[in-house]
Homo-oligomer: A and B are copies of this chain.
Amino acid sequence: MTFVFRNLEMLMTSNHASVVSMNLFVALLCACIVIGHLLEENRWMNESITALAIGLCTGFVILLTSGGKSSHILVFSEDLFFIYLLPPIIFNAGFQVKKKQFFRNFITIMLFGAIGTIISWVIISLGVTQFFRRLDIGSLDIGDYLAIGAIFSATDSVCTLQVLNQDETPLLYSLVFGEGVVNDATSVVLFNAIQSFDLTNVDPTIAFHFIGNFLYLFSMSTLLGVLTGLLSAYIIKKLYIGRHSTDREVALMMLMAYLSYMMAELFYLSGILTVFFCGIVMSHYTWHNVTENSRTTTKHAFATLSFVAEIFIFVYVGMDALDIEKWKFANDSPGTSVAVSSILLGMILVGRAAFVFPLSFLSNLAKKTPNEKISFKQQVTIWWAGLMRGAVSMALAYNKFTSSGHTHLRGNAIMITSTITVVLFSTFVFGLLTKPLVRFLLPLKQSGSAVSSDPGTPKSITMPLLGGGLDSELDLGVTHANNLRLLLTTPTHTVHRFWRMFDDSFMRPVFGGRGFVPYNPGSPAEPNGE
């Protein structure tokens, strides 16, 4: 039981070198924020690319000063990433997501996020199995190939979000963003499933085991997140903690969000999914039960933590990319490395195309109005926006192909360097081209469905997609006759309607939510309300 902190102690024994490296790292993070701000207006750059570039430069300087020994001031740990950096990012994603958009497009998002990721995984795994056999890259077995598929199916939602704008392109944003979260979870679940299953003797029942395992993880993780979120709402509503202290409310929300993630880890579930749904429930119920000050604080504090964690990851990935040790093996056969990276990039392009276009077609079949359909240009944007690979891929690759951050076998070393190459190339090249691409496709979109009605306020932008004011903040007291008429609209709307009725009659009296505390409900202080 004393494991973590006994090590923390070893970790922190007043070593002056560690103080130097912490100083340097914190200073770099500050530099990233300032430079990222200065480059804000630039049409090519975004914060991820800035942080990555700063990391690369610093790595280069450290490489020179240390005489070519090391390029980074810290060793990457997938656990540092999964336990400290990822939870705030994903929780904030759930907390800030426009819930109406998310649930309106829930089926499409699940199609892309779960089925799409599995399609991409199969294609990448099959592709690398075919191509890598012809290259001389050491011993990789079927488990390795499947793991590679999972590693390169994990899109970098962090980088994507900085390119797309929730207000300008709400449909695209919610699709790409929602897909990103489900995709993260799916890749990690897939990856862990591959690691734990015995893949030497594959038989037909394994697929069923696998699907069962996946569904179990998905449903239980979601349930745990929802329950923790509801518990926090109930506690804060019952005790009305803000009466005494805003800080206590904020602390409780933070701790319970983190607790949901750790509990998921405790029960071997997907912490990413749990904390994402915990974030959604907290923003729907808990957030409305706290004081005005707590609302502002939580909204911005969670966003800030997420922001810092993102920058941290990108600075690190940039620094780590120049690590000499990893490139030793790759240097022996530069042709092989280039070939492996190119194959991987190609498979990523093909794997993503193979699900975005067919699934968009399927999704469009179910939609009735042309406004709700995903146009071809939007499909291209969705395809392109999910091509970047980032920290999740890095973390999984490190987990799979290294022991304690070091590369020993030739095959493993090449896979690590290829992962770094793919991450750098996709983030820089695909990432730099995304903003111009969206701008190129956007003018057509802007005159189309989403932003036409009222571009003045963020809230009303979502209105055209809601069937003319349906489910807006103002219809809490609609009449029964009105209800009946509305039930005759599209099925998604009906489901949403029933949920609203259930929410208003059962959930809100118990767990609070919008309108619970009479702190001017509907004031401009609640712009991300729902």
A523 → B minimal CB distance (Å): 14
Beta-carbon contacts of A1-32 to B below 8 Å, as 1s and 0s? 11111111111111111111111001101100
- Among A366-402, those with CB < 8 Å from B are none
* A297 interface residue (CB < 8 Å to B): yes
Beta-carbon contacts of A291-312 to B below 8 Å, as 1s and 0s? 0011011011101100110010
Given the contacts A37-B239, A37-B244, A263-B23, A304 and B250 also touching, CB distance less than 8 Å: yes
Q: How far is the CA of A244 from the CA of B251 in the complex (A)?
A: 27
CB-based contact B33/A248 at 8 Å: yes
A7 → B minimal CB distance (Å): 4
Given the contacts A9-B77, A12-B77, A12-B80, A30 and B304 also touching, CB distance less than 8 Å: no
* A247 interface residue (CB < 8 Å to B): yes
Q: How far is the CA of A256 from the CA of B29 in the complex (A)?
A: 10
CB-based contact B235/A12 at 8 Å: no
CB-based contact B80/A5 at 8 Å: yes
Interface majority SS (helix, strand, loop, mixed), chain A: helix
Stretch at the interface among A68-76, A483-491, A501-509: A68-76
CB-based contact A2/B73 at 8 Å: yes
* A140 interface residue (CB < 8 Å to B): no
- Among A456-491, those with CB < 8 Å from B are none
A332 → B minimal CB distance (Å): 25
A415 → B minimal CB distance (Å): 19
* A254 interface residue (CB < 8 Å to B): yes
A236 → B minimal CB distance (Å): 10
Given the contacts A3-B18, A9-B80, A77-B5, A300 and B293 also touching, CB distance less than 8 Å: yes
Using Cβ atoms and an 8 Å threshold, which residues of chain B touch A250?
Answer: 300-301, 304
- Work out how many copies of this chain go into the complex: 2
* A255 interface residue (CB < 8 Å to B): yes
Q: How far is the CA of A252 from the CA of B17 in the complex (A)?
A: 24
CB-based contact A248/B36 at 8 Å: yes
Using Cβ atoms and an 8 Å threshold, which residues of chain B touch A239?
Answer: 34, 37-38
A residues in contact (CB < 8 Å) with B: 1-23, 26-27, 29-30, 33-34, 36-38, 40, 62, 66, 70, 72-77, 79-80, 83, 235, 239, 241, 244-248, 250-252, 254-256, 258-259, 262-263, 265-266, 293-294, 296-297, 299-301, 303-304, 307-308, 311, 404-405
Q: List 22 A-B contacts (CB under 8 A).
A: A1-B66, A2-B73, A4-B15, A5-B76, A5-B77, A5-B80, A6-B74, A6-B75, A6-B405, A7-B11, A8-B80, A33-B251, A37-B241, A37-B244, A248-B307, A250-B301, A250-B304, A254-B308, A296-B300, A297-B297, A297-B301, A301-B304
